[in-house]
């Protein structure tokens, strides 16, 4: 244990060029390119969806979405856990009405999330280990276990269709999934015995399905517009020489085709004068609304049989024109999110638009997208299958079935990652929307004389102060030899791998003392929370900046004062004639000005005192480093090295 654990203080970034390194790592492919032309490896693409999941396979010529015995491609992401029976997909769906407590749907929304976020859910419980779980007749089932059951069913389907061992799968995740959500997805796959070749962002998979990776054009910008039943996602990608990079993501996690159904239902209720419909009448109307909406994608008018409503009316009708009037404002909301994403991506126009999600079959949606982006969207492929198809193509590349130089996929991180520095401030190490994989290193130093350890506190967010960001992890670096403040050089490296998982390492450069953590945050962030955090960061930008400048100026001033006081009492003999008097005067003036809310004045006085003490500080630094190294051999330095690794 470190006797004196303190937060790190940023070490003169501006004054020491070269101490800040910036490396964009090469992507290392997880697949082993061992296959020859004669032995194709079998690889799968899996779209693990909130409502439906799919599995696809690329056979070297074409991509096939694998179907069940009844010829259906989608497997509803629903699992029934009875006391002695488990049912998955369509077979599980009826139980959501008869035994809702034992029937789990939409487990994806809970993957990698914390229990606090679902405190009110009556069907949720906690396992002995403290994990969030669904309480069912077959015992507690975590979201990872539920997802793993769905993945096992898809794997089983693939084994029936394809002969031979399955080498691995690419599994798609929403682009905004954070570390915890990605790790949970990976765990679910591992639990079902599937080797994960890579987690791939859904929009990127859709672009790959259209073969845009093989596009010979120069750099082009793509928009992926994904409107499903319950969610809307927009992603802006850049494709360059077969490489995809996600520039920005956005959307609305509570907007989709289901809202269109509700708008139609409300319209019919008003038309029928049914002010207080029963729950059954509402459910029947919602079903009719959904099929009317889908039919109106192919024709102008539709009439629905509504005798099941048990009212004095046998038919309900709807025209495409009326439907479009009802859902116009909802579609407009998706377009506003597109504009924000374009701004975030810092692009004015896009070269291609890809449609994903069942609701993009609506002609009005297509027309709105065309107008918004100024070009016709690509919609040749089934919008419900396009993600699984792209994943299958990428899986084929990753197991080595195709030559080198195939597409590598790059994604972005949704919120900045950084660490806490002295004074409760956040130093951003990796900026939001940075392309992954990425590794960035920055040098820090100790804030106090004799400090032998420090806490590295990893945070996520755009705000300047620790309390306004999300805490992801904390770990200690120990074994720093006692030196004067500012003499230790600690390099902290943030590395986000191709799956978006963050690893943070801190190394003290003199001794090589080292500590690292793989960040698996205690709770995930969904898209709404990310949007909220971004909004707050814009709203409070000016206020944050002023607070930061003052806090930084005070930290620097106080650190200088504390440092000088202890330096003068320890190494007073190094002071030359008049130096002590000058220093004391300067220190008094600085102390006086620290209480004022004037960062500029504090900074100027700190610099002035710093200049007066420069020579003295240099003499002390030499003495300190010499004594830290005195009598310490290289071997004992190695033995002192602290290795701390944690996976939690
Ligand atoms: P997804 O979540 O991608 O499967 O999308 C499901 C949504 O797409 C539901 O709201 C469906 O009603 C909607 N949808 C499916 N087919 C059509 C269609 N032909 N026209 C309009 N909406 C559709």
Instruction: Assign 3-class secondary structure to 199-220.
Output: EEEHHHHHHHHCCHHHCCCCCE
Q: What is the CATH number for 364? A: 3.30.420.40
Whether 294 lines ligand 1, by a CB cut-off of 6 Å, is yes
Strands (E), 512-637: 514-519
Task: Say if residue 400 is in the same domain as residue 459.
Answer: no
Q: What is the CATH number for 519? A: 2.60.34.10
Mean pLDDT, rounded, for 577-586: 86
Q: Residue 395 falls within a domain, yes or no?
A: yes
> How many Å lie between the centroid of ligand 1 and the Cα of residue 626?
72
Q: Residue 481 falls within a domain, yes or no?
A: yes
Residue 119: per-residue pLDDT: 66
Q: Residue 110 falls within a domain, yes or no?
A: yes
Mean pLDDT, rounded, for 615-640: 62
Note the residue count of the chain.
648
Assess contact for 326 and 362: CB atoms under 8 A: no
Cα angle 316, 318, 320; round to 5 = 165
Task: Say if residue 213 is in the same domain as residue 330.
Answer: yes
Q: From CA 172, how far away is CA 174, in angstroms rounded?
A: 7
Q: How confident is the model at residue 440 (pLDDT cuts 50, 70, 90)?
A: confident
Q: From CA 382, how far away is CA 357, in angstroms rounded?
A: 9
Q: Burial, 211: exposed, middle or buried (Cβ in 10 Å; 0-12, 13-18, 19+)?
A: exposed
Name the one residue in this structure whose structure tokens are 């016709």.
376
The set of residues, in sequence order, having a beta carbon less than 8 Å from that of 273 and lying 6+ positions away, is: none
Whether 361 lines ligand 1, by a CB cut-off of 6 Å, is yes
Give the ligand 1 atom nearest the CA of 49: 2
Q: What is the mean pLDDT of the chain?
A: 82
In terms of pLDDT, which residue wins out, 271 or 630? 271
Q: Residue 459 falls within a domain, yes or no?
A: yes
Task: Say if residue 394 is in the same domain as residue 462.
Answer: no
Q: What is the tens place of the pLDDT at every residue in 341-377?
A: 999 999 989 999 999 999 999 999 999 999 999 999 9
Mean pLDDT, rounded, for 559-572: 85
Task: Give the end of a domain, one of 485, 508, 539.
Answer: 539
Catalogue the active-site residues: 47, 108, 202, 226
Domain that residue 315 falls in: 257-325
Residue 188: per-residue pLDDT: 95
C-alpha torsion 318→321→324→329, nearest 10: -120
Task: Give the end of a domain, one of 370, 389, 411.
Answer: 411
Residue 529: per-residue pLDDT: 64
Task: Say if residue 49 is in the same domain as residue 131.
Answer: yes
> How many Å lie between the centroid of ligand 1 and the Cα of residue 387?
15
Give the ligand 1 atom nearest the CA of 357: 3
In terms of pLDDT, which residue wins out, 284 or 431? 284
Task: Say if residue 292 is in the same domain as residue 167.
Answer: no
Q: Residue 31 falls within a domain, yes or no?
A: no
Assess contact for 399 and 376: CB atoms under 8 A: no
Q: How confident is the model at residue 245 (pLDDT cuts 50, 70, 90)?
A: confident
Q: Residue 34 falls within a domain, yes or no?
A: no
What residues pair up with 47 in beta bridges, in sequence order? Answer: 54, 172
| CA 493 to chain CA centroid, nearest Å | 19
Q: From CA 472, how far away is CA 183, in angstroms rounded?
A: 14
Residue 337: per-residue pLDDT: 96
Mean pLDDT, rounded, for 408-429: 78
Task: Say if residue 451 is in the same domain as residue 549.
Answer: no
Best substitution site from 174, 358, 366, 368 to test ligand 1's pocket, by max atoms within 8 Å of Cβ?
Answer: 358
DSSP character string of 484-546: -TTT--EEEEEEE-TTS-EEEEEEETTT--EEEEEE--SS---HHHHHHHHHHHHHTHHHHHH
Largest interatomic CA distance in the chain: 105
Whether 258 lines ligand 1, by a CB cut-off of 6 Å, is yes
Q: What is the CATH number for 608? A: 1.20.1270.10
Assess contact for 513 and 529: CB atoms under 8 A: no
Q: Residue 224 falls within a domain, yes or no?
A: yes
Q: What is the tens place of the pLDDT at every residue in 491-526?
A: 899 988 766 678 888 888 888 888 877 764 433 455
Residue 232 reports pLDDT greater than 60: yes
> How many Å lie between the centroid of ligand 1 and the Cα of residue 291?
9
Nearest residue by C-alpha to atom 20 in ligand 1 = 294
Rg over alpha carbons for the chain, rounded to the nearest Å, is 30
Task: Say if residue 422 is in the same domain as residue 399.
Answer: no
Best substitution site from 106, 205, 229 to test ligand 1's pocket, by max atoms within 8 Å of Cβ?
Answer: 229
Q: From CA 438, how far away is CA 344, in angstroms rounded?
A: 19
Residue 558 reports pLDDT greater than 50: yes
Task: Say if residue 135 is in the same domain as residue 51.
Answer: yes
Whether 290 lines ligand 1, by a CB cut-off of 6 Å, is yes
Residue 8: per-residue pLDDT: 45
| CA 276 to chain CA centroid, nearest Å | 42
- Strand order through the sheet with 243-252: 352-356, 220-227, 232-240, 243-252, 409-412, 435-436
Give the ligand 1 atom nearest the CA of 74: 4
Residue 640 reports pLDDT greater than 80: no
Return the H-helix or E-strand segment holding 364.
helix 363-373
Residue 634: per-residue pLDDT: 38
Q: What is the CATH number for 306? A: 3.90.640.10
> How many Å lie between the centroid of ligand 1 and the Cα of residue 249?
22
Best substitution site from 77, 89, 106, 257 to test ligand 1's pocket, by max atoms within 8 Å of Cβ?
Answer: 257
Q: What is the tens place of the pLDDT at every residue in 278-311?
A: 989 999 999 999 999 999 999 999 999 999 888 8
Nearest residue by C-alpha to atom 8 in ligand 1 = 358
Task: Say if residue 419 is in the same domain as residue 334.
Answer: no
Whether 443 lines ligand 1, by a CB cut-off of 6 Å, is no
Prediction pTM value: 0.62
Q: What is the tens place of the pLDDT at every residue in 247-261?
A: 888 998 889 999 999
Lowest mean pLDDT among 23-32, 423-432, 433-442, 559-568: 23-32
Whether 228 lines ligand 1, by a CB cut-off of 6 Å, is yes
Residue 107 reports pLDDT greater than 70: yes
Residue 625 reports pLDDT greater than 90: no
Q: What is the tens place of the pLDDT at every residue in 7-52?
A: 444 333 322 222 222 221 212 222 323 333 446 789 999 999 999 9
Q: Residue 547 falls within a domain, yes or no?
A: yes
Task: Say if residue 180 is in the same domain as residue 191.
Answer: yes
Task: Give the end of a domain, one of 539, 563, 578.
Answer: 539
> How many Å lie between the centroid of ligand 1 and the Cα of residue 570?
75
Whether 108 lines ligand 1, by a CB cut-off of 6 Å, is no
Whether 86 lines ligand 1, by a CB cut-off of 6 Å, is no
Give the ligand 1 atom nearest the CA of 51: 2
Residue 499: per-residue pLDDT: 65
Give the ligand 1 atom nearest the CA of 258: 10
Whether 362 lines ligand 1, by a CB cut-off of 6 Å, is yes
Nearest residue by C-alpha to atom 9 in ligand 1 = 229
> How many Å lie between the centroid of ligand 1 and the Cα of residue 293?
9
Nearest residue by C-alpha to atom 22 in ligand 1 = 359
> How many Å lie between the centroid of ligand 1 and the Cα of residue 51?
11
Residue 34: per-residue pLDDT: 31
Q: What is the tens place of the pLDDT at every residue in 181-195?
A: 888 999 999 999 999
Whether 52 lines ligand 1, by a CB cut-off of 6 Å, is yes
Per the structure, the count of domains in the chain is: 4
Give the ligand 1 atom nearest the CA of 293: 21
Task: Say if residue 126 is in the same domain as residue 266.
Answer: no
> How many Å lie between the centroid of ligand 1 and the Cα of residue 229?
6
> How many Å lie between the centroid of ligand 1 and the Cα of residue 621?
69
Task: Say if residue 340 is in the same domain as residue 375.
Answer: yes
> How many Å lie between the centroid of ligand 1 and the Cα of residue 374?
24
Q: How confident is the model at residue 320 (pLDDT cuts 50, 70, 90)?
A: very high
């Amino acid at each position: 244990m470190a006797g004196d654990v303190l937060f790190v203080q940023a070490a003169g970034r501006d004054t020491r060029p070269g101490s800040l390194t910036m490396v964009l790592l090469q992507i290392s492919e997880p697949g082993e390119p061992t296959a020859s032309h004669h032995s194709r490896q079998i690889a799968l693409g899996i779209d693990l969806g909130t409502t439906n999941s799919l599995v696809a396979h690329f056979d070297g010529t074409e991509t096939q979405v694998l179907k069940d015995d009844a010829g259906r491609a989608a497997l509803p992401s629903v699992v029934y856990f009875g006391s002695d029976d488990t049912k998955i997909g369509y077979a599980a769906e009826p139980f959501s009405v008869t035994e809702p407590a034992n029937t789990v749907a939409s487990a994806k929304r809970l993957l990698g999330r914390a229990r606090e976020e679902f405190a009110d859910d009556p069907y949720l419980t906690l396992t002995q280990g403290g994990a969030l779980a669904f309480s069912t007749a077959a015992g507690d089932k975590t979201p990872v276990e539920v997802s793993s059951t769905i993945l096992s069913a898809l794997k089983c389907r693939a084994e029936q269709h394809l002969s031979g061992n399955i080498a691995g799968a690419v599994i798609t995740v929403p682009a905004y999934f954070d570390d915890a959500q990605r790790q949970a997805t990976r765990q679910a796959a591992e639990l079902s015995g599937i080797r994960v070749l890579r987690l791939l962002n859904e929009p990127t998979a859709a672009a790959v399905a259209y073969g845009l990776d093989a596009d010979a054009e120069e750099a082009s910008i793509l928009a992926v517009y994904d409107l499903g039943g319950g969610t809307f996602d927009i992603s802006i990608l850049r494709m360059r020489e077969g490489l995809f990079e996600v520039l920005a993501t956005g959307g609305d996690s509570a907007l989709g085709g289901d809202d269109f159904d509700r708008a139609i239902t409300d319209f019919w209720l008003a038309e029928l004068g049914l002010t207080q419909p029963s729950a059954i009448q509402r459910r029947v109307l919602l079903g009719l609304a959904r099929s009317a909406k889908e039919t109106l994608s192919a024709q102008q008018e539709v009439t629905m049989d509504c005798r099941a409503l048990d009212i004095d009316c046998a038919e309900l009708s709807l025209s495409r024109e009326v439907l479009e009037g009802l859902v116009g404002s909802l579609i407009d909301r998706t377009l506003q999110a597109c504009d924000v994403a374009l701004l975030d991506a810092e692009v004015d126009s896009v070269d291609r638009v890809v449609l994903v999600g069942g609701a993009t079959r609506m002609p009005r949606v297509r027309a709105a997208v065309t107008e918004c982006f100024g070009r016709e969207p690509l919609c040749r492929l089934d919008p419900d299958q396009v993600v699984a198809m792209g994943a299958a193509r990428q899986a084929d590349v990753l197991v080595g079935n195709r030559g080198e130089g195939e597409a590598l996929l790059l994604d972005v991180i949704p919120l900045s990652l950084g660490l806490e520095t002295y004074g409760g401030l956040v130093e951003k190490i990796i900026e939001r929307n940075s392309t992954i994989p990425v590794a960035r290193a920055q040098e820090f130093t100790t804030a106090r004389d004799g400090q032998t350890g420090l806490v590295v506190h990893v945070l996520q967010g755009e705000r300047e102060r620790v309390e306004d960001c999300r805490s992801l992890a904390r770990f200690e670096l120990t074994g720093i030899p006692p030196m004067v403040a500012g003499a230790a050089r600690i390099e902290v490296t943030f590395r986000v791998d191709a799956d978006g998982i963050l690893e943070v390492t801190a190394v003290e450069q003199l001794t090589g003392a080292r500590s690292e953590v793989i960040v698996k945050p205690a709770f995930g962030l969904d898209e709404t929370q990310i949007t909220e955090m971004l909004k707050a960061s814009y709203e409070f930008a000016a206020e944050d900046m002023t607070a930061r400048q003052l806090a930084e100026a005070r930290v620097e001033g106080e650190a200088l004062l504390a440092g000088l006081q202890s330096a003068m009492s320890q190494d007073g003999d190094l002071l030359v004639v008049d130096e002590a008097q000058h220093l004391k005067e300067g220190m008094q003036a600085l102390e006086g000005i620290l209480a004022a809310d004037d960062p500029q004045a504090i900074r100027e006085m700190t610099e002035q005192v710093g200049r007066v003490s420069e020579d003295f500080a240099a003499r002390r630094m030499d003495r300190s480093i010499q004594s830290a190294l005195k009598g310490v051999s290289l071997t004992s330095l190695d033995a002192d090295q602290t290795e701390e690794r944690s996976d939690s």
